[in-house]
Amino acid sequence: MRFLKIATVLFLVSTQINLAQTLLTPYLNIRTEPTKKTTVTTNAFGITLKKNWSKNNEIENSMSYTKTNINQESNAYSFKNDSEYSSIENRLAYSRKVNDHFQIRAKTITAFNYNKKASWNDFLLLGGILIDYKINTHHSLSGGILRSTALGAPKILPSFTYHLQVNEKLKAAIGFPESQISYSNNSRNVFFWNHSYEGNQFNTNKGTEKFTFSQINSSLNYERQIDERWKANFKCGYSFQKDYKISSSLNNSTSILIKDGCLLAIGLQYKL
């Protein structure tokens, strides 16, 4: 019941904010990270609403549900489900173009990260503010402050990116917490390399414990615009420097040994 109430509240907020939205995009992502004795699977679905209020103002709102399972091998032939974590998240982003060189971006992220049942104790407030500066048609810079779980527990982090537009087909964005180099050979295909820091924190069903994880993902991606409405993306990469642990209010922590390994994912988007 609590889950349904939380989902309903977030949906109503999202609907009211985006009543006049002109672009609506549902999506589904499936990801697996198999290693020798552990498999981490993540399934996510959501919807994104986008509106250009004017030439210089844009608002984007998205709501998503993500479920993560950590399956550890109990013997040579079977797996047991040790951990299951869920997240209900709503993202609201606003961008304003000040002039030809400056743009301001702000976002708020409200989330409920929980183990078995959601409650108000599982509430997280994240977000940040960024400033973009366009040097010329090929070079630009972005920088700002985030409250993020990219390194595990929520904390204040800097964000900075150098953008390089080599030509119409090749561009790069190098920085923290994410870097990307992309190449598009036509209007339907995009190939890109992505390197990012990923993390999150969840309350466990014991109440006084928190599950925290962080890792670095490096992957090759292919995105295909199937037609005017459908888009598919495929990901193959490697995740490393994994830090999975359960900590208590007494500052005691227990590490979950998960080795570095491959990362595979597929996603679908549909533009309404």
- Domains delineated in the chain: 2-270 (2.40.160.40)
Which residue would you say has higher pLDDT here, 91 or 50? Answer: 91
Per-residue pLDDT at 15? 47
Task: Check if the beta carbon of residue 270 is closer than 8 Å to that of residue 25.
Answer: yes
**What are the φ and ψ backbone dihedral angles of 249, each rounded to 5 degrees?**
-70, -10
Mean of pLDDT values over 36-52: 90
Which residue would you say has higher pLDDT here, 24 or 238? Answer: 238
For residue 224, give the nearest of 192, 180, 188, 271 by alpha carbon: 188
Q: Looking up tokens 């030809």, which residue turns up?
A: 100
Task: Check if the beta carbon of residue 104 is closer than 8 Å to that of residue 98.
Answer: yes
The Cα–Cα gap between 263 and 242 comes to 13
For residue 222, give the nearest of 185, 196, 197 by alpha carbon: 185
Burial class (CB in 10 A: 0-12, 13-18, 19+), 72: middle
* Residue 15 tokens, joined: 């609907």
Burial class (CB in 10 A: 0-12, 13-18, 19+), 79: middle
H/E stretch holding 6: helix 2-17
For residue 199, give the nearest of 218, 181, 179, 217 by alpha carbon: 217
CB atoms within 10 A of CB 30: 14
**What are the φ and ψ backbone dihedral angles of 118, each rounded to 5 degrees?**
-85, 140
The radius of gyration of the chain from alpha carbons, rounded to an integer in Å, stands at 20
The Cα–Cα gap between 215 and 206 comes to 25
pTM: 0.85
Beta bridge partners of residue 269, listed in sequence order: 27, 231
* Residue 190 tokens, joined: 């995009």
Task: Check if the beta carbon of residue 240 is closer than 8 Å to that of residue 214.
Answer: no
pLDDT digits (tens, 9 = 90+) for 204-226: 877 678 889 999 999 999 999 99
pLDDT digits (tens, 9 = 90+) for 78-112: 334 447 899 999 999 999 999 999 999 999 999 99
Question: Would you say residue 147 has pLDDT above 80?
Answer: yes
